[in-house]
């Protein structure tokens, strides 16, 4: 049974089939399933479990799982920085209790967006937890689309759920996806080198 399952894991499929096609199908199917799960949770909980920056996060988790930005540490910490930077930017500009108005962006909103994105893009590399989709998360907050402490808690919970999906799916697929820290800083994409199924995870 173990040998049969191994034949259907991602490294074996890449070895015997077109790698680009296998990787494209793998990322497409798992992105579809993961975001569908988040949408179902949002539907039944009436909470904002589905928001735009989860899309690029899902792409990283399933297409480049062995790169540092796709690791659980970078994903969780990056989004957390984005959420906190956005919230503090709202507080600094007096917009904590102001709803979004994308048709008429005032100067306070301009300042909030600039502060949030600047802080996020500065803090992630400074702390070694770069995760590009967090730049979208901080703008979602700074623009007032999601801004209350309850909503921001749900945002982080959604990120954790997506990361858990990434760990489960990638590991079942035979990818040695890290449990927290990136296995290889700036490592290869799935199927393009030893770290996909090798050792070295923490």
**pLDDT tens digits along 174-189:** 999 999 999 865 444 4
Contacting residues for 198 by C-beta, under 8 A, at least 6 apart: 176
Q: Express each pLDDT in 31-70 by its tens digit.
A: 999 999 999 999 999 999 999 999 999 999 999 999 999 9
Q: What is the rounded distance in angstroms from the CA atom of residue 42 to the CA atom of residue 96?
A: 23
**142: how many CB neighbours lie within 10 A of its CB?**
30
User: What digits encode the pLDDT tens for the residues 85-109?
Assistant: 999 999 999 999 999 999 999 999 9
d(CA 172, CA 6): 10
Q: Which of 159, 143, 128 is nearest to 53 (CA)?
A: 159
* Residue 110, Ramachandran bin (φ over 0: left; ψ between -120 and 50: alpha; else beta): alpha
CA Rg value for the chain: 18
Residue range 123-169, pLDDT digits in tens = 999 999 999 999 999 999 999 999 999 999 999 999 999 999 999 99
């Amino acid at each position: 049974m173990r040998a049969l399952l191994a034949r259907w894991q991602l490294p074996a499929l890449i070895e015997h089939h077109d790698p680009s096609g296998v990787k494209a199908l793998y990322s497409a199917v798992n992105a579809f399933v993961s975001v569908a799960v988040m949408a179902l949770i949002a539907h039944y909980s009436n909470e904002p479990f589905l928001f735009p920056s989860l899309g690029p996060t899902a792409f990283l988790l399933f297409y480049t799982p062995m790169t540092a930005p796709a690791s659980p540490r970078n994903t969780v910490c990056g989004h957390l920085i984005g959420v906190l930077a956005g919230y503090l930017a709202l507080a600094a500009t007096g917009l904590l209790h102001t709803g979004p108005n994308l048709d008429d962006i005032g100067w306070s909103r301009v300042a909030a967006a600039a502060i949030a994105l600047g802080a996020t893009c500065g803090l992630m590399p400074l702390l070694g937890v770069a995760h590009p989709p967090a730049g979208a998360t901080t703008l979602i907050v700074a623009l007032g689309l999601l801004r209350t402490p309850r909503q921001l808690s749900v945002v982080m919970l959604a990120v954790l759920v997506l990361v858990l999906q990434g760990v489960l799916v990638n590991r079942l697929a035979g990818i040695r996806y890290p449990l927290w820290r990136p296995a290889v800083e700036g490592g290869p994409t799935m199927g393009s080198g030893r770290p996909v199924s090798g050792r070295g995870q923490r």
